[in-house]
């Protein structure tokens, strides 16, 4: 294949020491491994490796970039990535390991890539309870980004056969741990200050959370969840301060330039700053750079970021979706 990620031979790995070692090795080398959690099977990639994370979107054919949940082996590991206030700490201590995801501000020591966070300063973290997931995360020694292991628009998989039905030939391996137990995704609670908010109902009931924190959960106006949101509604998306000008075939003086492909557009010498998403026109590489380059160009102080045309194929669809939101948001 090409933009959709290379065609791969998908290994079915047994739930034993050799299978776990192989799965961890693939993840550490930037590959894609589906693995069981107590909720659903996740499609995992090293969360610190933006190109590996871009591979998740390519394999799923997901047409837009949402922030992904990063999975960790322990609360200790989670604290390296995110900042836990008193409430978040209580929730983590009560419900981890388990089907709860906490959205918290990133810590200064955060190593999770911009792409996994969709450019946000917050991060979704979860410590799963499934023993195989736990062993895999320990063996990998890194946060693992994992949405449900299905193609976009299909139901979340609860066993290895479901995963292969959707993703055979598109991922490196599936760790076969039998049936997932809960079958619904984790509950997502945002702890970004003030009253925590329920972004998605899931495996941990709302009542159990409210009983613990002694107050009602707020609702997620910026809603997460599996259902797609109207463009512009997603307040949790990173929006650059600068104006964004799409399909720019020449650069005006003082603009910042977000380039794609081998050809240099007219006027690029006079740009305030210029970065190329992928000189070879590789859409997986471009996706990996998208959020960090937008941020860097925004930080240049230019009033406008001019963006070269990006083809609407493969990951280009998700890249263009994000760029159109950035151009519209204000």
**Closest to 239 (Cα-Cα) out of 318, 123, 121:** 121
Q: Residues for the chain: how many in total?
A: 330
Q: Please report whether residue 49 would count as binding Mg ion according to CB under 5 A.
A: no
We find the least distance from the C-beta atom of residue 301 to ligand TXA, in angstroms, to be 26
Residues 69-98 that bind Mg ion (CB under 5 A): none
CB closer to ligand TXA, 228 vs 254: 228
**Please, which of residues 222-281 interact with Mg ion by CB under 5 A?**
226
Q: Does residue 140 belong to the site contacting ligand TXA (CB under 6 A)? A: no
Q: Which of 5, 13, 39, 274 binds ligand TXA (CB under 6 A)?
A: 39
Interface residue with Mg ion among 70, 122, 148, 236 (CB under 5 A) is 148
* List 30, 63, 105, 225, residue binding ligand TXA (CB under 6 A): 225
Among 123, 137, 209, 287, binds ligand TXA (CB under 6 A): 123
* Omega before residue 97 within 30° of 0, cis: yes
Q: Which residue number, 176 or 255, has a Cβ lying nearer to ligand TXA? A: 176
CA pair distance 257, 245, nearest whole angstrom:
10
**Interface characters, 152-191, with ligand TXA (x: CB under 6 A):** ---------------------------------xx-x---
Nearer to ligand TXA, 99 or 265 (CB): 99
Q: Three-state SS string across the chain, please?
A: CCCCCCCCCCEEEECCHHHHHHHHHHHHCCCCEEEECCCCEEEEEECCCHHHHHHHHHHHCCCCCCCCEEECCCHHHHHHHECCCHHHHHHHHHHCCCCEEEEEEECCCCCCCCCCCCCCCEEEEECCCCHHHHHHHHHHCCCEECCECCCCCCCCCCCHHHHHHHHCCCCCEEEECCCCCCCCCCEEEECCCCCCEEEECCCCCHHHHHHHHCCCCEECCCCCCCCCCCCCCCCCCCCCCCEEECCCCECCCCCEEEECCCCCCECHHHCCEEEECCCCCCHHHHHHHHHHHHHHHHHCCCCEEEECCCCCCCCHHHHHHHHHHHHHCC
- CA 216/CA 214 separation, integer angstroms: 7
Q: Which of residues 8-37 bind ligand TXA (CB under 6 A)?
A: 37
Q: Binding partner of residue 69 among Mg ion, ligand TXA, none, CB under 5 to 8 Å per kind? A: ligand TXA
The answer to whether 100 contacts ligand TXA (rule: CB under 6 A) is no
Of residues 211 through 230, those in contact with Mg ion by CB under 5 A are 226
87 binds ligand TXA (CB under 6 A): no
Quote the least distance from Cβ 315 to Mg ion, whole Å. 18
Taking CB under 6 A as the criterion, the residue among 54, 59, 68, 198 binding ligand TXA is 68
Q: For residue 18, give every residue at least 6 positions away whose Cβ sits within 8 Å of its Cβ, in sequence order, or none.
A: none
Q: What does 201 interact with, of Mg ion, ligand TXA, none (CB < 5 to 8 A by kind)?
A: none
Here's the x/- map for ligand TXA, 234-253, by CB under 6 A: it reads as --x-----------------
Q: Which of 80, 120, 264, 327 binds ligand TXA (CB under 6 A)?
A: 120
Residues making contact with Mg ion (CB under 5 A): 148, 226
Residues making contact with ligand TXA (CB under 6 A): 37, 39-40, 42, 66-69, 101, 103, 117, 120, 122-124, 126, 146-148, 185-186, 188, 199, 224-225, 236
């Amino acid at each position: 294949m090409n933009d959709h990620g290379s065609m791969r031979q998908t290994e079915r790995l047994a739930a034993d020491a050799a299978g776990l070692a192989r799965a961890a090795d693939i993840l550490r080398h930037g590959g894609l491994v589906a693995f069981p959690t107590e909720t659903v099977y996740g499609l995992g990639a090293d969360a610190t490796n933006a190109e590996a994370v871009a591979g998740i979107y390519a394999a799923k054919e997901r047409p837009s970039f949402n922030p992904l949940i990063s999975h960790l082996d322990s609360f200790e590991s989670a604290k390296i990535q995110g900042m836990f206030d008193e409430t978040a700490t209580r929730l983590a201590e009560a419900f981890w390991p388990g089907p709860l995801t906490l959205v918290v501000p990133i810590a200064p020591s955060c190593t999770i890539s911009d792409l996994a966070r969709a450019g946000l300063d917050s991060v979704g973290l979860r410590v799963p309870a499934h023993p195989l997931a736990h062993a895999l995360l320990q063996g990998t020694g890194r946060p693992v980004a994992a949405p449900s292991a299905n193609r976009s628009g299909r139901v979340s998989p609860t066993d290895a056969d479901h995963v292969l039905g959707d993703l055979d030939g598109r991922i490196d391996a599936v760790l076969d741990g039998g049936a997932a137990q809960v079958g619904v995704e984790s509950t997502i609670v945002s702890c970004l200050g003030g009253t925590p908010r329920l972004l998605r109902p899931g495996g941990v009931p709302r009542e159990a959370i409210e009983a613990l924190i002694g107050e009602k959960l707020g609702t997620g106006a910026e809603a997460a969840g599996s259902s797609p949101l109207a463009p512009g509604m997603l307040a949790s998306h990173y929006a650059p301060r600068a104006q964004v000008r799409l399909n720019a075939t020449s650069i005006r003086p003082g603009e910042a330039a977000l380039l794609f492909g081998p050809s240099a557009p007219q006027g690029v010498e006079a740009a305030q700053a210029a970065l190329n998403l992928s000189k070879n026109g590789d859409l997986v590489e471009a996706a990996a750079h998208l959020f960090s380059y937008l941020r860097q160009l925004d930080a240049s102080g230019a009033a406008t970021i001019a963006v070269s045309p990006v083809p609407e194929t493969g990951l280009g669809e998700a890249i263009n979706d994000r760029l159109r939101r950035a151009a519209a948001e204000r």
